[in-house]
Structure 1
Amino acid sequence: LPIPSSTRSPFHATHYKQQYQLKSLLDTRWRTGKNDKRYILGHRDSIYCLQFDQEKIVTGSRDRTIKFWDLEHGYCLRTLVGHHASVLCLQYDPRFLVSGSSDHSVFVWCMQSFQVVWRLTGHTSGVLDVCFDAHHVVSCSKDTTIRLWSLDTGQPLRVFRGHHGPVNAIQLHHHHLVSASGDSTIKLWDIHTGQCLRDFVGHTKGLACVRFDGSTIVSGSNDNKIKVWDAHTGACRLTCHGHTGLVRALDFDDHKIVSGSYDETIRVWDLHTGRCLFTFPSCHSSWVFDVMFDQTKIVSTSQDQKILVMDFARGLDARLHTAPSP
C-alpha cells in the first residue's frame, strides 16, 4: 500500500528526487554525447557480431573464434573454437548460444558446459544471421533462404523461400519473423505456417540490418538510410538521413535508434522524429560491423579488430550510492 504523505519518510522524497536527477543527467549525456570511451583488444581479425549484458560481452570474428569478455575490466573470459570460417552472427541467452558462420553451419552451444549441442547444416552458403526463442532456431543465408530448426532436437522444420538475394538479417518476435535482404525488400513471415504476410518496399538498395519488436520494424540499407516501419500496416513512418555509407547495424528502444555504418560513425537518432541526436565520428578506424546499446552503454565492433564501449553513466553510480539510508 502507498505510504500516507503525512508519514512518508524524508528518504523517499530525497531518493526519488535523486533518481530523477540521475536520469536527467544520463539523458543529457546521451544528447550531448558525453561518455567514457574504452577499447577492448584481443581478436586477431575483423569482429562481425556482438551481444552484451550487465556482466559480459560476447563477440564473433573473422578469426573463427567466439570470445567472452568481462564488460567492466575488458579481459577475455573464454574463447570458443569450432567453426571453420568467420563467425558472422550470434545470439545467446542463459541457456544457449547460437552462432552462424561462413562455413555454412549453425552451432548451438550450451552456456553451462560451452560444448556444441547441435550442429545445424543445410545452408549452401554463409549463414548471415541467427535468432532463437524457447523452442526454435532461425537462420538466414547468402543462399537466399531462411531455415527454421527445432532447438529441442536440432531437426530442420521449415525452409522459407521468397527473397531474390542474400538474406542478411532476421529478427524473431513470438510467431512472427522479419527478414531483410540484398534484394532491397523486408518480409514479415508466420513461422508456424511459413506464409509471407507482408512485404515492406522503400529502400532503393540492398538491406544490411533489421530490428523488430512486434509492432515496429527498423531497417538499415546500402542506400545509407534508416527506415522505421509499422509492422501491422506496412507503412513507412519515417526515414533517417545522415549516414554517408552502408548502414551495417542498428538497435532501438522506445525512444531512440543507434546505428553503425561503413562511414565509420555511430549515430543516435530520435525514433519518433527521425532527427539525428548525436554523431560519434571516427570512433572506429574502419567499417562498423555491429552495435548494441542499453540504458547506459553503446557497444560496437568493427573491421579494425576493436570492441568499443561507450559508457554514459560512468561516475553517476557513485552519486547513487551516496543516497541517504532510510
Structure 2
Amino acid sequence: MIKQIIGTTAVIATWVVPSIAMAQVSAIKLSHTIQLQPDSERLHPPVVSQVEIHPTGKLMAVAGDDHFVRIMEVATGRVIVTLKEHTDWVRAAQFSPNGKLLATAGNDRQVLLWDVQENIQLRSGSEFPSVITAVDFNHDGTQLAVVGFGESVVVYDANTGKKVHQWKTAGNDLRAVAFSPDGKLVAAAGRTGVIRVWDAVSGTQVKDIRAHNERIHGLAFSDDGAQIISGSEDRKLTVHNVNTGQELASMPTGDAKVFSVSLVQPRVIATGGSDNEVHLWSLDTYEEIDRLTGHDGTVSTLAAQGQTMVSSGFDTTIRVWDLGNSRQNPPPVLTVPVSRFSN
C-alpha cells in the first residue's frame, strides 16, 4: 500500500490553563493544543471519537466521524499517515500493549488490524453484528474484545482474527469494554447501567454489577485489577470491588454526563464529559483532585501514557497535557507542517 504524501499546514496553539485544585494539588499543565483541519472533501474538521497514545508515547491514533484514522506525532501534531480504509464513522481505536498492532472499528461494522510500523492493513474481522463503539486488547495483545450498539460482546484472537468468545449482555447499546490488567476478566457496559463481567479464559459469566441508572460510556480497571470504575450519563463516577461487586464510592460529577473514563496514573482516574472539562479523581480518597478547562465541546475521549495525557471530542481539538510535577511558562504558538496520504 504505497501512496504519495502531500503537504498541508496545521496550527498548534499553546497556552496554559490554570487548574482548580480540589482535595489535593496536582501539577498538570497544558502542553499544547492541536486544531484538526478538514479533509479537502469536507468543510469542517472531524469530531473526534477516540484518541489513543502509542506505548512509546511518541505517536497517537485519532479516529473521527470523517471515516479516517490519523496517526500523529504527540509532540508536534504532525500527521504521519491517514488510514482511509473505513467507509463510515470510526468510533474506536487502540494500540496493542507491545505497540505492534492498531485495531480500528466503527459504523461500518468492520474491525481492521494494522501493522503499525508498515502502515499495512493485516486483516479485517468478519462483519460485526452491529455498529462498533469500543475495543480493548488484553494484557499481552493476543485477544481483542469488541462491543457495539447490539447486545454482543465478541473476543477475537488478534493473531488469526478468529472468534474466541461471544457473549450476550443484559441489554443492547453497549458503549464500553475493558480487560482486567492481568487479562483474566472482561467487563462490558452500556444502556442498562449494568456492568457484566466474564472470565476471559473459560467464558463463564462472573457477575453483574448494578453501577448506574443510565447509560455507561466509560470503564476502567484500577492498576491492581481490584476495582472497576465506571462513568455514566447519570452524572456519577462509581467505583466497585471487582471480586464482591460492592460499591466503594459514588462520586457526583455535577452537570457533566460522563463520556470518557481513563486511568491516567496508578491511583488517578480522569473523566471527560458534557461540561467540556476534564476532571481528575483520586482512587485513594475518592475525591476530585483537579479540573482542567479549555475545551468548548464535550470531551468524549481521554488517553494517557507515561507523563502525557490527551483529551479530545466534539470541539475538533486535541489537548496534550503534561502530568509532570512542574509548571512552566507558556511556550510560543507553533506552526508545523502536516502530511496526509493522497487518494
TM-score by length of 1: 0.83
More helix by share: 1
In structure 2, relative to structure 1, the CA distance for the partners of 1:31 and 1:149 (3 Å cut) is same
User: Which residue of 128, 135, 147 corresponds with 1:130?
Assistant: 135
In structure 1, stretches of 5+ residues that fail to align are 1-26, 318-326
Report SS of the residue matched to 2:25: helix
Cα distance in structure 2, aligned partners of 1:216 and 1:89: 24
User: Which residue of 254, 273, 282 corresponds with 1:270?
Assistant: 282
Kept in 2, the 8 Å contact 1:33–1:280? The answer is: no
Q: Deviation string for 1:50-105 (max 9, x for gaps)?
A: 11142122111111111111111221121111111111011113211011111111
Distance apart, 1:154 and its partner CA: 1.2
1:197 equivalent to 2:178? Answer no
The 10-residue stretch of structure 1 (290-299 or 87-96) with the greater mean CA deviation from structure 2 = 290-299
Cα distance in structure 2, aligned partners of 1:132 and 1:310: 24
1:76 equivalent to 2:74? Answer no
User: Which residue of 32, 35, 40 corresponds with 2:29?
Assistant: 35
Kept in 1, the 8 Å contact 2:226–2:243? The answer is: yes
More strand by share: 2
Q: Deviation string for 1:109-145 (max 9, x for gaps)?
A: 1112212111112323210111123322211010111
User: Which residue of 162, 173, 187 corresponds with 1:166?
Assistant: 173
Q: How does 1:207-286 map to 2 (within 5 A)?
A: 207-213=216-222, 214-252=225-263, 253-281=265-293, 283-286=294-297
TM-score by length of 2: 0.79
In structure 2, relative to structure 1, the CA distance for the partners of 1:295 and 1:96 (3 Å cut) is closer
Q: Give aligned-pair identity as a percent.
A: 18
Higher-Rg structure is: 1
Kept in 2, the 8 Å contact 1:245–1:263? The answer is: yes
Kept in 1, the 8 Å contact 2:129–2:152? The answer is: no
Match of 2:16 in 1: none
Cα distance in structure 2, aligned partners of 1:164 and 1:36: 39
Q: How does 1:102-117 map to 2 (within 5 A)?
A: 102-117=107-122
In structure 2, relative to structure 1, the CA distance for the partners of 1:254 and 1:314 (3 Å cut) is closer
Cα distance in structure 2, aligned partners of 1:269 and 1:66: 30
Match of 2:62 in 1: 59
Q: Deviation string for 1:144-186 (max 9, x for gaps)?
A: 1111212222122321112312111111131210111211100
Q: How does 1:145-184 map to 2 (within 5 A)?
A: 145-173=152-180, 174-184=183-193
The structure, 1 or 2, with the larger RCO (C-alpha pairs under 8 Å, 6+ apart) is 2
Aligned-residue CA RMSD in angstroms? Answer: 2.2
Aligned length: 289
Q: Deviation string for 1:13-50 (max 9, x for gaps)?
A: xxxxxxxxxxxxxx99x825551342112352101101
User: Which residue of 129, 140, 148 corresponds with 2:147?
Assistant: 140
